[in-house]
Amino acid sequence: MKTKSTPEPGNLRERALRLLARREHSRAELVRKLGQTGFAQHDIEALLDEFEEKKWLSDQRFAESWVADHRVKAGSIKLTYELRQRGVSDSIIEAVLGEQRDSEFERAREVWQKKFGVPPDNAAEQARQMRFMQSRGFTTEVIRKTLTNVD
């Protein structure tokens, strides 16, 4: 059985660049992933500081990318939660999602249309549709507006 040895410092840079080449990552995600492989915390922090200075790593860019990829299926509540779980600061989340607030109702309408397409015909069905929309992270206000404006 192989024993786990301490990784070489040069491998840290290579591994971090490989992760960033696949997709945008938040700083917190990279710290977690690189820390799990056995690199020293102070080496990780120093490298990520350098990456941020060179604009290779940006929580703002990560948040914009994440929202662009996930906004079709999720409301602002869910997007906020997911970004916080990935270590993005509240100020960046607010800035990125602030741009999306205008389209929240349209996105909710599209999600509802794709899933249901027909207005609820009784209270139980309305509750079911509302729960589904809540699970997708839409606010109660947007859900009510969506369900009352059903054609």
Please state which CATH class domain 9-57 belongs to.
mainly alpha
User: Quick one: pLDDT at residue 150?
Assistant: 67
Mean pLDDT for the chain overall? 90
Amino acid at 46: A
More confident residue, 108 or 2: 108
**Domain ranges within the chain, ordered by starting residue:** 9-57, 61-148
Distances (CA, A) of 11 to 3, 23, 28, 95, 150: 18, 19, 19, 35, 56
71 band by pLDDT with thresholds 50, 70 and 90: confident
